A = this chain, B = another copy of it.
Amino acid sequence: MLRLKGKKIDIEAGEHTVLLNNIDAERLGVRSQSRVRIDNKGSTASAIVETSNTLVDEGEIGLLEKVFEEVKAKEGDVLKIVTAGRPESIEHIKEKLEGKELSEHAINEIIQDITDYKLSDIELSAYVCGVYSKGMTNREIKDLIWAMIKTGDSIEFDKNPVFDHHSIGGVPGNKITLLIVPIVAAAGMMIPKTSSRAISSAGGTADIFEVLADVTLNTDEIKRIAEEVGGTIAWGGGVNLAPSDDIIIRAEYPLMIDPYPQVLASVLSKKKATGADYLVMDIPVGPNTKVDNMEAGRRYARDFVSLGEEIGIEVRCALSYGGQPVGVAVGPAAEAREALMALEGKEVPTSLIEKSTALAGMVLEQGGVREGKGKEEAKRILESGEALAKMKEIIEAQRGDLEVTSEDIRLGEFTKDVLACDEGYVGSIHNSDIIKIVRSAGAPHDNGAGLILNKKKGDKVEVDEVLFTIFSEHEKKLDEAYKLAKHLDPFDIEGMILESHPEFKTV
A residues at B contact (CB < 8 Å): 1, 9-14, 19, 29, 31-33, 50-55, 83, 85-86, 90, 93-94, 97-99, 120-126, 128-130, 132-134, 250-251, 254-257, 440, 442, 445-446, 473-474, 476-477, 480
Contact (A10, B257) CB under 8 Å given A125-B126, A129-B126, A445-B31: no
Whether A97 pairs with B129 at a CB distance below 8 angstroms is: yes
CA distance A31 to B31 in the complex (A): 28
Pick from B51, B122, B251: contact of A12, CB below 8 A.
Answer: B51
Whether A257 pairs with B94 at a CB distance below 8 angstroms is: yes
Residue of B nearest to A121 (CB): B121
Asked if B122 and A446 make an inter-chain contact with CB atoms under 8 angstroms apart, the answer reads: no
Contact of A51 among B11, B33, B132, B440 (CB under 8 A): B11
A97 CB contact (under 8 Å) in B1, B33, B133, B445 = B133
In contact, A129 and B133 (Cβ under 8 angstroms): yes
Q: Is the CB of A122 within 8 A of B123?
A: no
Q: Are A50 and B13 in contact (CB under 8 A)?
A: yes
**A-B contact sample (12 more), CB < 8 A, given A97-B132, A125-B126, A126-B128:** A9-B55, A10-B55, A29-B446, A85-B480, A90-B254, A94-B257, A99-B133, A122-B124, A123-B254, A125-B129, A129-B129, A133-B133
Copies in the complex: 2
Main DSSP-derived SS at the A contact region:
mixed
Contact, CB under 8 Å: A94 / B29 = no
Which of B90, B128, B255 is within 8 Å of A256, CB to CB? B90
- Structural contact, A10 and B52, CB atoms closer than 8 A: yes
A440: which B residues are within 8 A, CB to CB? 85
Report whether B476 and A29 are in contact in the complex, using a CB–CB cutoff of 8 Å.
yes
B97 touches A257 (CB 8 A): yes
Q: What's the Cα separation between A93 and B124 when bound, in Å? A: 16
Q: How far is the CB of A388 from chain B (nearest CB, A)?
A: 34
